[in-house]
Amino acid sequence: EQGADSVQAAAAIAQSGAQVLKNEGNYLLVGADEAQLTAVANVLDVAWVENFTLHEKHNEYGAGNIIGATVANNSGYDGSTQIAAVADTGLGDGTPAGAHPDLAGRVQNIFDWTTGNAQFCYRVRKDGPQDADSGHGTHVAVSVAGDGGINGEGKGAAYAAGLVFQAVEEYLDIYGACTSPTTPDGYYLIGIPDDLHQLFQQAYSAGARVHSNSWGSAAAGDYTLDSANTDDFIRTHPDMVITFSAGNEGTDANANGVVDNDSIGSPATAKNVITVGASENDRQGNYNCDSSLTYQSHDAYQPSTTCSGMGGQNLLGTYGSRWPSDYPANPLANDPTAGNAEQMASFSSRGPTDDGRIKPDVVAPGTWVLSGYSSLFQEGYGDPVNPQNNSYQLDGWGMPANVSYKYFGGTSMSNPIAAGAATVVRDFYQKAYGHNASAALTKATLINSAVDLLDENNDGANDNDYPIPNVHEGWGRINLAGATAGNAQFVDEASGIGTGGSATYQYSVNTAGSALKVSLVWSDSASTETAAANLVNDLDLVVTAPNGTTVYRGNVFSGGWTQTGGSADRVNNVENVYVQAAATGTWTVQVSGFNVPSGPQPFALVVNGAFGSGNATPTPTNTPVPPTATNTPVPPTATATNTPVGPTA
């Protein structure tokens, strides 16, 4: 913890017989058996002990038209006012010029997060910021900000944004205390610092205001030190949007044909991040591979065959055929891995978090996503093998489409699509209102405009068995067209409210029976790993109908819509009121501070409904500076010079 003496702590730990493998200031990597662990935990300067896990890429197991990016792009919202950051394996050949053709001229920095050896644990073989093994980082970066310049394929939503890249992968020789059957020698995301403040601060200082992270550790819904550090960074840097993939731990362990709950990874369990799950992709049957490649596919589902042998199209397979031990029973077992944009991907980690919070927040397509192919060690294109592991770069899912693009799947792929969408939302607020949107406002906008999936439980029927909010999709699939339509009113309250304080806003609805959607989001103070409930500052959302007596509270949902009655939410820092058929007249929206021990607490509101031109201007009751960004949007000054082509993934 802050103020602790790490040298003194290391000495005391060594006296217990445990091995201090690495000292990084406030964080120690220790090798200990069960008996020694108790002694380590009792050392005076030790505040917390948790299991050491190597962060993993979430790709084991797009999307422009599906998430509405093409519509937003056609309106001039393309990320051109923004810089996005990606922390991942590496980028192309490790130089801005050699990143990927679809990123040409927009890679502003590539930072190499290398690390030293850990005695009795691992030795590092450094190879710089290149993307040599899986091609994961290049694929992710192009999904965020690729411009589709080669042939229009793999285009990201934020195709005009600048990019900052942080390369965090190195090859490790594992030995000693870290030897395990599950951790062989190989590439790991070992450059990710123990204190994530350092990672985020570097990107923030370089101008990035959206940070994409397609990695994490299996935490089964637990709030960890990484979660707390991430929450703290967003709380203290309120305009920094951080997205995390939910994880790929969605399985059917009890073989009942239903994906099990409680598998969200860390840091995706953080409160203030946008946690992104994976829905299915639908490429309208186009999963082409490069027929000029003569080697046999390495994909387990399409063995002993070449691309030509498959007729130039990758074989999708079912979840059961690809991962039989994870999905042994129908309907999951015989469900194709793509083709229904209304369906969740089976592997996507499910909520809730251990303290009951709704996660994921939103979902985006994450199966058979076509995006950038790193130029290094490509099989079949004349490259040598990687000297580190004597292997070619991973093909991804199936076989590559061509020398520039390949397929991948996982929440690793849905997350950058969401990060690109968040970048476009910030671009929208900047262009339409001249407003630097907070992380809370960006998150509220994406949630408020999201659409409810129809097959969230993977039963093979688009029957909406589990309307939003639910543990599968959270609040729904991202709808960037809706997020940037300019129909919603918003408040981005920086001064905040304290315990007992309130802010009241009024909105005039002029069409009877229309929907009214109100979203409240705040970036909460960090919690602790030992807390039973992780919400620190508790705000309440109450929406009152024009009659003055019909009251709706945040997160009291049934059938996908808010119901009257119920009690205030004491768990989430996202609260929604969605009224299915709103009466005409003036609606009152109140945000109040129920318990704000670490205040005042800033917040963001997004309100979408059938508003008339005479809509009442929101007026807070006790905030020193009334929100000004609530007027009719000004059309963006940037206009598309041609019709943008959306991502083909």
Residue 44, pLDDT > 90, answer no
DSSP for 315-381, written as a single string: ---BHHHHSTTT--STTTTT-BSSS-TTBB-TTS-----TT-----SEEEE-SSEEEE--SSS-TTT
Mean pLDDT of the chain: 90
Q: Using DSSP, state whether 69 is helix, strand or coil.
A: helix
Q: Which residues of 467-487 are buried (b: 16+ CB within 10 A; e: fewer)?
A: bbbbbbbbbbbbbbbbbbbee
pTM, two decimals, is 0.87
Strand order in the sheet with 122-125: 122-125, 170-174, 186-188
- Res 283: pLDDT: 87
Residue type, 73: N
Cα–Cα nearest to 445, from 480, 493, 495? 480
Give the pLDDT of residue 187: 96
Condensed to tens digits (0 to 9), the pLDDT of residues 85-95 reads 999 999 999 99
Instruction: Give me 500's structure tokens.
Output: 């007992």
With a cut of 90, say whether residue 23 has pLDDT above it: no
CB atoms within 10 A of CB 285: 10
Average pLDDT over residues 536-540: 99
The model's pLDDT over 435-464, given as tens digits with 9 standing for 90+, comes to 999 999 999 999 999 999 999 998 889 999
* pLDDT value at 644 more than 70: no
Of 102 and 25, the structure prediction assigns the larger pLDDT to 102
pLDDT at 628: 32
Predicted pLDDT of residue 50: 62
Answer yes or no: are the C-beta atoms of 527 and 228 closer than 8 Å: yes
Residues ≥6 apart with Cβ < 8 Å to 442:
210, 241, 274, 422, 425, 426, 429
Task: Report residue 38 as tokens.
Answer: 């108790």
User: Taking residues 65-75, what's their average pLDDT?
Assistant: 92
Count Cβ atoms within 10 A of the Cβ of residue 500 and give its class: 0-12 exposed, 13-18 middle, 19 or more buried. Answer: exposed
The pLDDT value given to residue 27: 65
Structure tokens at 283: 């490429």
Check residue 460 and give its pLDDT.
Answer: 86
Model confidence pLDDT, tens digit, residues 382-419: 999 999 999 999 999 999 999 999 999 999 999 999 99
Residue-range domains of the chain with CATH = 6-41 (no CATH), 56-447 (3.40.50.200), 488-634 (2.60.120.380)
DSSP per residue, 215-247 = EEB--TT---HHHHHHHHHHHHSTT-EEEEE--
213: which 2 tokens? 């992270």
**Calpha distance 274→277 (Å, rounded):** 10
Strands, E assignment, 138-269: 162-167, 170-174, 186-188, 210-213, 215-216, 241-245
Q: Which amino acid is at 301?
A: Y
Question: Do the Cβ atoms of 474 and 348 come closer than 8 Å?
Answer: no
- What is the tens place of the pLDDT at every residue in 585-642? 999 999 999 999 999 999 999 999 999 654 444 433 333 233 333 323 333 222 222 2
Between CA 406 and CA 384 the distance in angstroms is 19
User: How would DSSP label each residue in 462-486?
Assistant: -S-SSPSSBTTTBT-B--HHHHTSS
Band the pLDDT of 53: cuts 50, 70, 90. low
Q: Comparing C-alpha atoms, which of 85, 76, 6 is closest to residue 46?
A: 6
Give DSSP secondary structure letters for 511-569. Answer: STTEEEEEEEE--PPP--TT-SS---SEEEEEEE-TTSS-EEEEEEEETTEEEES----
CA atoms within 13 A on the CB side of 106: 26
Predicted local confidence at residue 63, as pLDDT: 52
Give the lowest-confidence range in 16-25, 234-243, 310-319. Answer: 16-25
- Position 195 scores a pLDDT of 96
Higher per-residue confidence, 514 vs 648: 514
CB 374 within 8 A of CB 138: yes
User: pLDDT category, 284, cuts 50, 70, 90?
Assistant: confident
pLDDT tens column, 127-165:
999 999 999 999 999 999 999 988 888 899 999 999 999
